Structures are given as C-alpha cells and as structure tokens.
Structure 1
Amino acid sequence: MTLTSKQRAHLRGLSHSLKPTAHVGKDGVTPAVVRSLLETFQQHELVKVRVLENAPDSAKSLAHEIAEKLAGAHVVQTMGRNVTLYRPDPEEPTIALPR
C-alpha cells in the first residue's frame, strides 16, 4: 500500500498538534528506538519522531530507514528535524483515509 498525496495531506493535518514521542540521537536508528516505536504504534497510528542534531544522517534518510524496519509504516512527512510516520492498525484502524 502506498499513500496518495490526498491521504498524506489528510495525515499531515492530523499530525499538526502531535508532539514527538521518540527521538533519534547520535547512535541513529537503534533497536531501542525501533522497540519504542513498535510500542507506540500499538496505541497510535500516527507518530512524530524528532531527529536530534547529532544524528548520523539527515532526517529524511532516517525516516525511510525507520519505515523499512517497521513493517507497514509509511513516511507521511519530513519537516525540518521532525518526521511523521503512519502505520494503520491491522485489526481496527481508527484513522479513516480519504480515497
């Protein structure tokens, strides 16, 4: 599944008021970061991640690395050092995406 531009725009609007729930630091995308995000995705479908200044790569490349490690996750947006990720709940999705 890939997100259309209309769906990404809808998710960007929903994510505007979210605070970052995970941080990627100088060690990059560690197993602890992945584990933290997996736990967060059990409660929320839309998550913001903050990439700190001392991270080894750009926020955009780290966003795609995180999405690859989390099955079913999609990069919605990278804005500055904040990354928004979306992963629908496999059983009961709470966010209705436009077609």
Structure 2
Amino acid sequence: MQDNASILTGKQKRFLRALGSTLDPVVQIGKGGIVNTVVESAAQALAAREIIKVRVLQNSPEEPKAAITALAQATGAELVQVIGRNGLLYKRNEEKSKIELP
C-alpha cells in the first residue's frame, strides 16, 4: 500500500468539507478504540465512497481528534477536518474516482 500523503490544498479541503457536511457518520469509534474491525470498515467505506464521516462515541477511551487522526493513518486517508466528535476522512480511489477535486 503506497502512502499517498498528497496534502490537500485549502480549496480542496473546503470542497470536501462542503461534501461532508451532509453525510451521516458511517464509522463509529466506541469503547474499543481503534480496533481492527473499525479500521477495516473504515477502509471499505473509503474504497466505496472516497469520503466518510467518522463519529467518536462518548465511551471511547481516546480523545476524538487523536482517535480520528489514528484512524486516518491506519487507513492511509487524509484527515479533512475534526469538529467536536465527528471527523471527515478522504481517500482517493485510484481505480474509479468519484470525487473530482478542484
């Protein structure tokens, strides 16, 4: 797995935040923290959607920002933003990209 840490520009992050504002969280980090099942479901969701919202539940042992950052690193995704307990992750699907970044 190549690490494509292509840092997003401000314009691209704004674009992705706008897309993400209407999304519902598809991955939840609970009392287990960042476990393999969470990483796998996030990776699958990213492959299908390219952009996902992640929610850190109240019972998570980790701080939301730390947990979402760790999940981004584990999946090789870009951390677009963290607001409260929600985070937005983006990972381009090289085979069939759905989102055209500005």
Distance (Å, rounded) in 2 between the aligned partners of 1:92 and 1:32: 24
RMSD: 0.9
How many equivalent pairs are there?
A: 97
The amino acid that maps onto 2:67 is L
Q: Which residue of 2 aligns with 1:86?
A: 90
Q: Which of 27, 32, 37 is residue 22 of structure 1 equivalent to?
A: 27
Distance (Å, rounded) in 1 between the aligned partners of 2:28 and 2:43: 14
Q: Which runs of 5+ in 2 are unaligned?
A: 1-5
Q: Which residue of 1 aligns with 2:73?
A: 68
Distance (Å, rounded) in 2 between the aligned partners of 1:7 and 1:78: 16
Q: Which runs of 5+ in 1 are unaligned?
A: none
Equivalent residues in 2 for 1:6-21, closer than 5 Å? 6-21=11-26
* Alpha-carbon shift at residue 91 of structure 1 (Å): 1.4
Give the TM-score normalised by structure 2.
Answer: 0.90
Identity across the alignment (%): 38
* Alpha-carbon shift at residue 83 of structure 1 (Å): 0.7
Contact kept? 2:47, 2:91, Cα under 8 Å: no
The amino acid that maps onto 1:76 is V
Q: Which residue of 1 aligns with 2:44?
A: 39
The amino acid that maps onto 2:75 is L
Distance (Å, rounded) in 2 between the aligned partners of 1:64 and 1:16: 19
SS of 1:76 mapped into structure 2: strand
